[in-house]
Structure 1
Amino acid sequence: MKIPYGDHARNSFDGQLPARSREVIYCKKCVVSNQRPRIVFDEKGVCSACNYAEYKNSIDWDKRGKEFEILCDKYRRNDGRWDVVVPCSGGKDSGALAHRLKYVHGMHPLCITWSPMMYANIGMQNLQNMISSGLDNLLTSPNRVLQRKLSKLGIVLVGNHHDPFGRGIMCRAFHVAIKEDIKLIMFGENAELEYGGDTKNKDIPYNPYKDWDKYYFKNTSFEKLLKFGFENGYLTKEDTKEPSLKWYTLPPIEEIKEVGVVPRWYSWYFNWIPQENYYYASENYGFQAMPRRTEATYSKYASIDDLTDPWHYYMMLIKFGIGRATSDASHEIRDGHLTREEGVTLVRRFDCEFPTKTFKVFLEYLDVTEEEFWDIINGYRSISPHLWEQVNGEWKLKHQVS
């Protein structure tokens, strides 16, 4: 059965798409646009991420740091057991977090790694370097045949092949915490605050579970994706019975609460600066950046674990008109590492760059032809007429930051 990928993409399950404004506006302080899901612009044309960055200047970080030590004292164990779960790729952010928890805060972390779709050599090396610094790590490698099918389902139905990976890395931590009787899960940064989104939870160190579908799962349940996948030829009946599927969803919330597992954001207690995480990881466990910049951006050290990472950002460009350089530059402007003028130059130079280096392996991974790939991409472009237009038979992005 030939699957009509383009038709399925045009009927995307991504619940964030209908909420996009049809008028594209760029932040006056950084380079992000109002197309980013849940981002809010104030009357001065400044985005919620920039306003949160300003808000952070008023936070008493010493007080927050003391609150963190109280938290650690509450959960720290000295009986030979782990006391905190850390979802961890070995990258600069999660690796630095895990290392700090052990060597700065005196905790006993168990790092949980969800295997990337296709490990980049440097990604695996960085993970091994992190482990070699004295950290315990549990690598979860779900059924790769099934994960490839789920990734195809992800790029078609929600415009993100990383969708199953994102679900797995968030949810697996809770399964492990319950099994190992570990009460604390420490995540790194709250992306809703740091990168732009809903700021209603800025004064608490976690996001309530009732918000997770909206923040992390695009308002689409995993069960809905599986049902569609089975009914439309992406998955077999046997696929829907695979044991590893449970890792892509949270345990029952009632069970999480009953056993006392609590998730927390490290970025709520300490000022989150990705560049400083890079320096810390480099100095403390030998984290290595790429020898040259990553395609579609100027950065060398962010999201380099997986060979398919560039396509997560490429789909962000297709769906929201903002790409990888926008993501990198916006945060560095807020951190004072770039001026807006520099950010604009970098975005206009790199944001729309096509990731040619991994194109063929990505097609092979998804098991689609080049024609089928463009059918998916153009399906998403066609439902975004405020972002994309055809000029002389070629698709062009209507807006870029200036």
Structure 2
Amino acid sequence: MVEKKNIVERYNLPPEVKFCKKCTISNQRPRISFDEEGVCSACRFAEYKNTKIDWNEREKELIELCKKYRRNDGSHDVVVPSSGGKDSAFTAHQLKYKYGMNPLTVTWAPHLYTDIGFKNLQSLSHVGGVDNVLFTPNGKVHRKLTKLSFEIIGDPFQPFIYGQVNVPLQIAVTHKIPLVMYGENSEAEYGGNMKNAFSPTRNYKDDITNFQFSGLNPEDLASHGISSKDMHAYLKPPVEELDKNKTEIHMLGYYMKWTPQENYYYAVENTGLTANPERSEGTYSKYASLDDKTDGFHYYLAFIKFGIGRAIQDSAHEIRDGHLTREEGVRLVQKYDGEFPQKYFKVFLEYCDITEEFFWEVIDSWRSPHLWEKVNGEWKLKHQIS
């Protein structure tokens, strides 16, 4: 029997569900805040980006940063964590061809590559002209971690996140590259902890190990029969090594206005990015998070745990960017949010070595009674956006 989880306590969620007055996100997203006007912190940050920031001045800061770290001997001078998707492709290509840097993109392999995902990664180098290192972890260990993360954390994607965050730091230290450039500050852009929203950097001494969305570190998962050697790839380098390397983690979204849809158009034109021929399950979009056959289960678990699915996350950002009205976003959420990722369901079960019965036991263990109720034998969300 799978243990029932207390979602409200674990994630410090408010018991009363409220939706943002400007976008489609709810107050059930961990760490998001709503003001007295019922507007979420991500929308307020978007307003700040649109009205208060002098982007010309921010670009000057970026130019000075590049001057500080640029190397003229042909060696790499910035590490860009990259899936091969639109955002990291935009980041790497801009740094190389607009700002004269020589980026090394570092990719932690997905659990199970989609055809389109692998094609886009190859296109980043062959069309985009950017160097890439692909790190593929021990498959046996990764499968076990994925199964444990699915059950214990409620997010099978968490082992990938550990690797994609920490392997680029390992590469930076190994190759003596101080500058690491991420794309957006996801906490500020999507709603979360705003402490770094107005800073260009992230502090590896506390942030990298603080995987707030899960509440568990890789070391905790190691207690389930996985050796410390097996876990090495998932862990950040020792702080002493990062300090010795004079590592700095920067966010490109601080220096230029971050717009995912515009990043997509740029990547199509400059790095050969290809969208899916059909929309992704659970949403209306075709161009985001395409790399991994397990992606849909990451978003589906968020829908189960927080009532926030893929269409909510996509539409909320596009409303803030002015690409959708709230009314349009609401209709898209009502139509697509929470759709089950059926396409790769059997593949996911086989990958995690679990039965369909166990899968649904885990899913139901993450349903909170303040969000879910059974109506005529079917689970329904108590609170629907309108």
**Which residue of structure 1 aligns with residue 383 of structure 2?**
399
Query: 2:312 corresponds to which residue?
Result: 326
Q: Which residue identity lines up with residue 72 of structure 1 in the other structure?
A: C
Contact (CA 8 Å) 1:11, 1:157: kept in 2 or not? no
Contact 2:146–2:157, Cα closer than 8 Å, also in 1: yes
**Residue in 2 that maps onto 1:367:** 353
Structure 1 residue 220 and structure 2 residue 216: aligned?
A: yes
Match of 1:254 in 2: 240
Equivalence for 2:175: 180
TM-score by length of 1: 0.92
Count residues in correspondence.
Answer: 383
1:240, distance to aligned residue in structure 2 (A): 1.4
Contact 1:69 1:105 in 2 (8 A): yes
Partner of 1:303: 289
1:212 is displaced (CA, Å) by: 3.8
Moved over 6 A (4+): none
2:96 equivalent in structure 1: 102
Change beyond 3 A, Cα 1:297–1:315:
same
Say whether residues 1:113 and 2:111 are aligned partners.
no
Could you tell me whether the CA contact under 8 Å between 1:171 and 1:249 is conserved in 2? yes
CA spacing shift, 1:267–1:290, aligned 2, 3 Å:
same
Matched with 1:89 is 83
Judge conservation of contact 1:110–1:135 (CA < 8 Å) in 2.
Answer: yes
* Bigger mean CA offset, 135-144 vs 204-213: 204-213
* Paired residue secondary structure (1:357): coil
CA 16–195 in structure 1, closer or farther in 2 if over 3 Å, else same:
farther
Residue type of the alignment partner of 1:387: L
Q: Give the whole-Å Cα distance in 1 for the aligned partners of 2:211 and 2:326.
A: 27
Partner of 2:162: 167
User: For residues 227-259 of structure 1, what are the alpha-carbon distances to aligned partners after superposition, in whole Å with 9 as ceiling and x for unaligned?
Assistant: 1x22xxxxxxxx41544x212111122321222
1:22–1:217 CA distance, 2 compared to 1 (3 A): closer
- Describe the superposition over 1:259-286 as per-residue Cα deviations: whole angstroms up to 9, x where unpaired: 2011100000000000010000000121
After superposition, the C-alpha distances for 1:114-171 in whole angstroms (9 at most, x for unaligned) are: 0000100000111111111221110000011110110001111111001010010000
Partner Cα distance (2:160, 2:27) in 1? 26
User: In the alignment, which residue of structure 1 is the partner of 2:16?
Assistant: 23
Q: Separation in 2 of the partners of 1:399 and 1:54?
A: 27
Q: Contact 1:91 / 1:303 at 8 angstroms: preserved in 2? A: yes
Question: 2:30 maps to what in 1?
Answer: 37
Summarize the Cα distance change of 1:159–1:286 in structure 2 as closer, same or farther, 3 Å threshold.
Answer: same
**Deviations 1:11-39 (Å, cap 9, x if unpaired)?**
58x89834011110000000000000110
8 Å contact kept, 2:158–2:214: no
Match of 2:371 in 1: 387
Q: Which residue of 2 aligns with 1:377?
A: 363
Name the SS of the counterpart of 1:210 in structure 2. coil
Which residue is 2:201 aligned to? 206
Match of 1:350 in 2: 336
C-alpha deviation, 1:215, in angstroms: 4.9
Which residue, 153, 158, 178 being the options, matches 2:148? 153
Residue number in structure 1 paired with 2:227: 240
| 2:344 aligned counterpart, secondary structure | helix
Cα pair 1:167 1:216 within 8 Å, conserved? no
Q: Which residue of 279, 290, 295 maps to 2:265?
A: 279
Contact conserved, 2:90 with 2:267, CA < 8 A, in 1?
A: yes
The one of 301, 314, 321 equivalent to 1:315 is: 301
Q: d(CA) in 2 for partners of 1:199 and 1:241?
A: 33
Equivalent position to 1:139, from 113, 134, 138? 134
> Residues 15, 340 of structure 1: CA spacing in aligned structure 2 closer, same or farther, 3 A cutoff?
closer
Residue segments in structure 1 that go unaligned for 5+ positions in a row: 231-238
Unmatched segments (≥5 aa) in structure 2: none
